[in-house]
Structure formats: C-alpha cells, structure tokens
Amino acid sequence: MTASRRDVLIGSAALGLAAALPGNLRAAPFDGAAWRRYAERFLLPEGRIVDTGNKGISHSEGQGYGMLLAVAAGDRAAFDRLWGWTQRVLMVRGDGLAAWRWTPDGGVADRNNASDGDMLIAWALLRAAEVWQAEAYRTAAAAIVKALVSGLLVEQAGLTVLLPGRDGFRKGETLVLNPSYWIFPAIRAFAALPGGERWGKLSDAGLVLLSKARFGGFQLPPDWMTLDAAGTVGIADGFKKQYGYDAVRVPLYLAWDGYRDPYYFRPFAMLATKYGGTAVPATVSLPGGTTTQVAASVGMLAVYRLAGHLAGAGDAVTVPPLAPDEDYYSTTLAHLSALAAQSLGIDP
Amino acid sequence: MTRPVLLSALLLAGIAATAAGNCAWAQANGGGRALAPGVKVEVAPAPGSGSAPAAGKVDETALRYYARIGDGERLEAEIARLRALDPGWEPPKDLFAPQPTTPGVDETPFWNLLSAAKVAEARAAIAEQRRKSPSWQPSDKLLQELDTAESAGRIRSASDTKRWQEVVDAAAAHPEAVACNRLDNAWRLAEAYAELKQADRAFDTYRTIVSTCPKAKERRDTIFKASRYLSPDQLRELTALGATANPAKGEDYSTVRTAEAELETGRLLERLGNAKPGALTAADLSRIQGIVRDKQDADGAIALGWYFQKQKNFAEAQSWFSQANGWAPSDKAAEGLVLAYNGLGEKAQARAAASPWKGKSSRIDQALKAVDPPRGSGGGRSGPQGPSELDRALARHDFAECLSIIRSSIAKSGPTAGLLQQRGWCLLEMKRPSEAEAAFAEAQAMAAREPAKGGQSGGGNGAAGTTRTPAASGLPQKATPAQENAYGQAVARLATGDTVGLTRDLPRANMTPAQKAEIRASLMATEANRALEDKRYNDVLRLLDARKELTPEPRNLGILRGWALYNLMRFDEAYAQFKSVDDRLSTEESREGVSITWKTIYHDW
C-alpha cells in the first residue's frame, strides 16, 4: 500500500511535468488514483471531508480542499456531493459565508466563518466552472467572493488585509491576522473577476506583510500575527506564539501562484535544511526558536521540498511515502504541494 | 532632467578621489547623505563582507541609479568602490544618458522604495516582478542593500526586546549592518555581547569602532556607551586607541581623549554625593574641582560644598556654595551657603545669604533654624544656646534621624503642630509622600486645636508656628504655619501624583503667592512630562514656557524640552537645547539627546 501511494505521487508528478512542457502550466490533471484513495479515506458519502487528526470533525477548509482536489481529479460527482453538503450544512449564516466548524455530535459548532475556508470553496467553484463549463458554479463563487469583500477585507495602515473571520480579530486598533489565509492563487482568481481590484491589493499587501512578519533565527512567519495602525507587525498574543501547522502553508500558496523569488522561500528552506531535511520540527516558537519534539508530517515535508526548490536550496528535503494512516491534513498538504509543483513544472 | 554640469564635475572628482583601494570605505562613512529622510542607502560594503562580482564584470546598477537621481556624493563613492574592486574599470561614458538599468526591467521603483525605507514594499514589488518576468534577476547591489537594511532592522528589534543572541547572529550574517555608517547597530552588537557575558567580544567590538570609524564624535560617543560595560582599564585602552588609531583628515581627536576624564568626573561626582569623609583621594578631589570650575557647573559645586560641609570643612564648603550661587543662584546653593557660614560662626553672613529666599523657600527657612534656633522645640532643649539636636540633624540632611528625634520628642512631651509639620517635611525628603501628606493634615488639625498664643493675628496661624517662626521675622511674605501645612500637603500630593486634585484645589488653597507659584510650577512640570508621554509635544512646550515664567528651568526639564522639540521635528532647536544642557554638565541623558538629534539632522544612523 505504502509503496503504491508513493508511486502514485511520482506518477502524477511525471504526468504534470509532461503536460507542462507544451507551455500550459495549469493543465496538469491531478492523478485519479490519488484522488480515489483520498476520497476513500476522508470523503464521507454525505459529502463532508473528515479531519481525522481532529476527532473526526469537518470544516470549511476541508470542504474547500476536498473540492479543489475533486476538480483537479475531474471527479464532478464527488465535487457536487462536497458542495451540496457545504451549502446545506455550513452555509447557514445568511451572509453567504460558511460556518467554519461542524462536529459529529453537535453539528455546526462555531458559526463564525474562517476566511480561508470560504476562499478555498469559492476558488474551487471557479475552477469547477472553468473545467466543466458550468455557470452555476461561477455564480455561487461570485456570491461568496462578494460576501468576503464586504465582510472580511479591511484597510489597515495603507494595506488591504483579510480578517480571519467576521467576528473577533480586532483588538482595539490592532488586527489579528493569519498569514496562511493569503491563498495567493485564489486571490489572483478573485482579482480577475469583475470589480476584483481590492483582491489585487490584498495580494500586494500579503507580500509586504510576509516581508515584515519574519521572526526569530529562521525569520519565519507566525501562525497568527498582529498588524497595528502604524503598520507594525507582531506575533499575536492569545495564540501559541509559533510558526507551525498554519504558517507552513505560506510557501505552498506563494509557489502555487507562481512566485519564485528565493527571498520568500528561504526561511522555510533554511529550517528544513538545518534539520537535514528529515526530522524537521513541526513547530518553532517565535521569536525564541524553541522547537517541538513532534516532527513535521509527510505533507509538511512536501511543502518544504517545494520551498527548497524555489529557495535554490535544491532537493535537500526527502519526502517519505504517505503512511496508510496518514492524517487528513498531512495528506492534503502532500497533494496540494504536488498540484502546486505541477503547476510550476517542478518535480515534487 | 539631471544636472549634467554638476554631475560631470562630481564624476571627475570621484575619479580623482580614487587613489587608494580602500578609500570607498572611508568615503561612504564620511560623506553619507540620506536619499530620503531617515534612510541611508550605503554604498560601500563593510570590509570583508562584500560579495565581489564575477571578475571582469562590475555591477553598475547602483552607479546608474545614483546618476539618474542626481546623488553626486553617492555616485562618487560608488565609482570609488567599483574602481577598488576592478582597477581597470572605467566609468561608462553614457552614465547620464537615460536608459533602463537592466534590459527589460527598470530597477528604479525598487530603489525608490528602498530609499523611502519601504523595505518590505520593495521586497514585495521585486517578488511580483520576478513572478511576471521569471528570467529577470534583481541586481546584486539591490539585493545586498535590501539584506543590509533588513538585518539592521532585525538587530534593532532583537536588541529592543533583549534577544541578545539574535543580535549577534544577525550581525554575523550581515556584518555591513553593524558598520560605522550604522553606528547605533554596532553599539547594539557590543551591548549584546556584554549582556551575553562575552566581555572580550564586547570590548573587541568597541575597539573596532573606535579604531576604524573615522569621526571623532563617533569615537567619543562610543567611549561613553562602552563605559557601562567596560572596566576603567579597558576604557583607558579604548580612549588611547580612539585618540590615535587611523586618524582621518580634518578630525580633531582631542575630544576623544577628554571623554575618559569626563566619565571619571561623572563617576567621582556620583561618589562625592554619597562619599564618607575622606573617601576620595586628594588627586580625585582636585580633578573634580578643576572640572567643576572649568565648566562653571553649579550642581557640581553644590556637591563639592556638601562634601566639605560633611567634613566640617566649613570654609571650603562656603567657598563652593558661594561659587555655585554665583554661577547660578538657587535656594539649593543658598541653603548650603547659610549652613556653611553658620558652621563658621558667621551668623550675620548666614542671614544675609538667606535673605533673598527667606520665606520663599522651605529649604532656606529650614537652614535658618540652624542659624537662629527656634525656642522650645526639637530635642526638648530650650533656650538660645545653639542649634537643637533636630536642627543639627536637618542641617546634616539626616532625615531618618529627624524622624527618630521627633518620635522620641512626641513620646516624651506629646505632639505639637510644629513637630508634626516637621515630620511631614522629613517624610517628604525620604520620599514617603503619602505619610507626609497625612502628617501635614495632622499638623493642620493639631494647629486648629492648639490655643493661639503670641501676638500674631489671623485665624490660621496659631501656635503651630513655634518651630518655624522666630519672632524676629516679620516679612510680609512669611508663610503662616497654616500656609506651611497647606504647602506641605500640596508638595506631598505632588509626590503621590495627585495632580488632578491638586490642580483643582490650588486656587483656593491657603498659601503664600510664592508657595502657590512653586506648586503651580511643579504641576506644570508634571503635566509637561505627561504631555510628552501622550505625544502632545506642543503642549509640552506650552507648559514648559509657562513654567519658565515662574521659575528657572532645571536640567531635567531642559532635557524634556529637547525631546519635545525633537518630536516636533524642530531638530536644530532640539540640538541647541540638548547641547546647552550637555555643555553645563554632560551626562548620559544629555549626551543621548545631543547624539540622537545630531544623527537625525545629519542622517547618520
């Protein structure tokens, strides 16, 4: 099982590379077998993705990732099941956004939205509209994007930034932001929609913030950061002051959107290289630099391998095969990294 | 358009100046000018840190940029640097012809952002450009400048948050971020080593600064900075190096040499303040005296006066207090003078010295008690035969003893309003304002209960006056005991920070005009401090100006004024302000003001 999973990954990469050569970098399909295995493990018949590392809950992020992978794999039936459950169960707020968290016991457990989940869903819908030439998806995506613009995009210190959720995340004059919610390729897709100028600004601001939000010896971004009215960034109080499971997606999204400036990838590559590309710690406290005993998952290593490529550090990171019981998040990151690498014509 | 005539001239000057290989370094340090306020784009890499471009090909990006924006000074330095790297290189003939610096991509926008201190924005713009044109690479020069600017910022923030190891790491990764043209960062690096208990490295860092940074002022400031961490021996070595090593033309290093002596003076004056008699050597003493005389430093003279007074060397004390009073008349100086004369037995002189302040200064009234001891007070000894135990304690500034005498006095013969009031003053001197306020209130209540005696008229001034009012007095401005109590309470409330209540109550308070003026001045000083904290800088100046009408501005408020001016970006005035304070007595505070303002004006961070 394990070997074949690894084979699948390599196979899909080769496919991506081949498809990329003619010049159409986005045309590479995500491998069908990988998707089927993913769906078997994480997609329930009713259309929700189970976060296996998190007591079997579901959330808008998982739905968005599932929908993205389904489109990439060309599985419209699965996509519709995912989108159907998302609409039915999560989009109950009345403002076009999804409640972010659902538990098997209590249903919708937190009605606040998570902006990255909403963005992933909308972006997947836009991709689906393109792939399957279905206007309904585009209309639905546009509605979510509009709701995001009116409720989540705010101006601070001359920057257009994304609030992580509609409620909270403002502490006086200071905003609490999540760098990994800047899903650059999704933002670019939204910017291309009619009236999408503010998304273009959000993208610009994201690069500025990522240049400012560099802490500790590795100069890594925190999972949660603050931005005050003067434009100063900090590490947010009230959250774990660390780089970790959230911020690891920063280089993934940058790469996926075609950014190749080594400056933006170096911190992640440095971290991975320092630990020999294998037992990379899953989290690093900021700014102190204390690392956890827990090692980065396979999916996180896949991101590091990508970051290493773009930082010019070569293939310093070895990505082991996904384990049979690899959890939802790790597996998802591994597949997303493969998709991003394919889009860049890089061997994942 | 550019200014071809001027630039051509500079270009020639630049070529002419390129005699020695290492002169780019010195030039960049000496001739720095910011492209935008507060920002420097350095031209020269620090020694040993430069990544030399591939042989045969020099990177002319920065050169063309400076030519385009018309920054002659930098252009010149860059020419020097490039020639140092490649002696065979000639500046391009088309330097002033408008052209894109790199085929396809014009770097100007990135340089402009960098010049405006928008480093993150420059990074973002470059990343965006690289996304759009994957084959394009920013010039090495641009990347190097960005790295340096970022490292400098990182060193600052790590040092501000006391992450010393990160300061050291960041400096090691980018030594040019701690070069002479970023002196503040070099200091931060030395401080980080010192805090990490790596004393040798701290010393090495200071030594590098004073022997390579060309400006005398930088070397001098470095010695002051280093004084916090280094031993006197190391400081001596540093000073000797700073005064002689690698001299630059036109720099006067004598000020470096005097830095050590000034530090010594500061330390000695500090020791003087709490010195036991005879604790200072004759040499030390004579050095202090020389410097205090040179600088006409009244505060220093007063300190000397007290030093001698404590040794009962009244003649020497009198001479120093007199000197202080001559340089800058103050009740502090007069107080010493009164007590010194009294020690000499020259009571008439003592009274004469007190007269300008009598009734206006509690200090002086206090001191006068040693001259003309009040009857029936203090240690229970009555009669005019000399100062009481209490008065002697007060004259010695021994306030703990004051409390103890009053305590035993009250235990023996019960409290009087006068004793309670005196207790208030002593508590205040011991920085126990809440208790002091209570003591004054108690005194007030006691005075109201005590039967009136003596011939004085008026409701509020009963017998409480015993400790403070010799019958001889009769000046119109003399404070009544009730007024003294009210005044004491006000001072205590000031010390506890109750400015709002005090401001409210002051107009109705029973005090002499002089007392009210003094309290008002103190309130304004407190308000000015608060205004500075709240960043209301115009208010600071307004309050200080109003205060100055009432009473001369002391040193600490002079520094406050300097910072207000600085924050209002009235840098020249701020510099003059700090300088005048610093010239009178140079301390870390005043030096900091002078140094920061100077750096801001000359963009020499």
Report the side by side order of strands in the sheet with A58-59.
A58-59, A101-103, A107-110
Q: Is A228 a catalytic residue?
A: no
Domain extents in chain B: 4-101, 150-266, 274-371, 512-605
Using N-to-C axis directions, what is the helix angle for B216-226 and B232-244, rounded to 10°? 170
Asked whether B400 and B390 are in contact (CB, 8 A), the reply is: no
Quote the pLDDT of residue A226.
Answer: 96
Strands (E), A203-338: 225-227, 233-235, 242-243, 284-285
* Interchain CB distance below 8 Å, A208 and B131: no
* Interchain CB distance below 8 Å, B123 and A208: yes
* Interchain CB distance below 8 Å, B124 and A260: no
Residue type at B315 in one-letter notation: A
* Interchain CB distance below 8 Å, A204 and B166: no
Check whether A334 has a pLDDT greater than 90.
yes
Check whether B268 has a pLDDT greater than 80.
no
- Min Cα–Cα distance to chain B from A331, Å: 28
Identical fold for domains B274-371 and B512-605, yes or no, is yes
- Min Cα–Cα distance to chain B from A208, Å: 5
Selected residues 177-216 of chain A with any CB under 8 Å from a CB in chain B: 204, 207-209, 211-212, 214, 216
Per the listing, tokens 């205590």 go with B492
pLDDT in tens, A183-207: 999 999 999 999 899 999 999 999 9
Check whether B402 has a pLDDT greater than 80.
yes
User: Of A31, A75, A116, A246, which is the active-site residue?
Assistant: A116
Quote the pLDDT of residue B10.
Answer: 36
- Residue ranges of domains in chain A, CATH in brackets: 2-344 (1.50.10.10)
Selected residues 156-185 of chain B with any CB under 8 Å from a CB in chain A: 158, 161, 163, 166, 169
Mean pLDDT across the stretch B89-106?
Answer: 67
Residue type at B551 in one-letter notation: T
User: Rounded to two decimals, what is the model's pTM?
Assistant: 0.58
Quote the pLDDT of residue B477.
Answer: 59
Q: Nearest by CB to B128, which of A207, A214, A216?
A: A207
For testing the chain B interface, which of A160, A202, A208 should be mutated: the one with the most B CBs within 10 Å?
A208
pLDDT band, very low/low/confident/very high, at A271 (cuts 50, 70, 90): very high
Quote the pLDDT of residue A127.
Answer: 96
d(CA A98, CA A83): 11
Quote the pLDDT of residue B459.
Answer: 36
Check whether B39 has a pLDDT greater than 50.
no
Higher-scoring residue by pLDDT: B476, B598: B598
Please report residues of A whose CB lies closer than 8 A to that of B158: 287
pLDDT in tens, A286-296: 988 888 888 99
Mean pLDDT across chain B: 77
Q: Which of B104, B101, B175, B169 is nearest to B141 (CA)?
A: B101
How large a percentage of chain B has pLDDT more than 90? Answer: 21
CATH tag for B512-605 (out of 1.25.40.10, 3.90.1150.10, 3.40.30.10, 3.40.50.2000): 1.25.40.10
Quote the pLDDT of residue B96.
Answer: 66
pLDDT in tens, A54-105: 888 899 999 999 999 999 999 999 999 999 999 999 998 889 999 898 988 8
Selected residues 68-107 of chain A with any CB under 8 Å from a CB in chain B: none
Q: Nearest by CB to A207, which of B123, B150, B161?
A: B123
Label residue A1 exposed, middle or buried (CB < 10 Å: 0-12, 13-18, 19+). Answer: exposed
For testing the chain A interface, which of B110, B118, B121 should be mutated: the one with the most A CBs within 10 Å?
B121
Quote the pLDDT of residue B123.
Answer: 97
How large a percentage of chain A has pLDDT more than 90? Answer: 65
Q: Nearest by CB to B127, which of A212, A217, A259?
A: A259
Distances (CA, A) of B309 to B295, B339, B344: 22, 8, 10
Please report residues of A whose CB lies closer than 8 A to that of B134: 260
Q: Does the domain formed by B150-266 have CATH 1.20.120?
A: no
- The fold of the B274-371 domain, in CATH, is 1.25.40
- Min Cα–Cα distance to chain B from A337, Å: 18
d(CA A166, CA A151): 6
* Interchain CB distance below 8 Å, A261 and B163: no
- Min Cα–Cα distance to chain B from A127, Å: 21
Q: Nearest by CB to A208, which of B124, B131, B163?
A: B124
